[in-house]
Amino acid sequence: RIAWQLLDLQKPFFEEGVAKLRPLTMSQVAEIIGVHETTVSRAIANKYIDTPHGIFEIKYFFTAGYLTEDGQSVSNRSIKDTIQQIVENEDRSKPLSDQAIVELLKKKGFKIARRTVAKYRDELGILPTNLRRAY
């Protein structure tokens, strides 16, 4: 029942990819299927799902989220994916600062603090600006 709810609630992810992952909590799924949140947590522990976009741990689909400027909910994983793409496409001789990444995200409708960008960049294993520079 949990997997069916994931397929229903995260349908845009399965159709279009990580950028369309929606915020979702275990308590939301637990409420829908009529069990306790800890039951969902135990049921998905060490379980994986094969998707058109690769194999993911089921916990991957439970993520916090943000509201975009137009009122849409997006997961923090979507924002991390966007940061990853921004850094991959930057000019290596002039890498972007965290504040510059914040400005680019703002243009895409994400209102994120510079400290949050630094945290996500660190979680993604992306080096700071001075260490990404190629001479």
pLDDT at 64 exceeding the cut of 80:
no
> How much is the pLDDT for 7?
93
Q: What is the pLDDT of residues 89-103, one digit of tens each?
A: 999 999 999 999 999
Cα separation, 4 vs 43, in Å, equals 13
Residue 31 pLDDT class (50, 70, 90 cuts): very high
> Considering the entire predicted model, what is its pTM?
0.66
pLDDT at 113 exceeding the cut of 80:
yes
> How much is the pLDDT for 43?
95
Residue 50 pLDDT class (50, 70, 90 cuts): very high
Are 83 and 125 within 8 A, CB to CB? no
Q: Which of these, 17, 37, 12, lies nearest to 27 by C-alpha position? A: 37
> How much is the pLDDT for 5?
94
Cα separation, 49 vs 23, in Å, equals 18
Cα separation, 98 vs 59, in Å, equals 28
Q: For 61-74, what is the mean pLDDT?
A: 76
First to last CA, the chain: 54
pLDDT at 10 exceeding the cut of 80:
yes
The percentage of the chain sitting over the pLDDT mark of 90, rounded to a whole number, equals 62
Cα separation, 33 vs 39, in Å, equals 11
Q: Which of these, 88, 83, 85, lies nearest to 99 by C-alpha position? A: 83
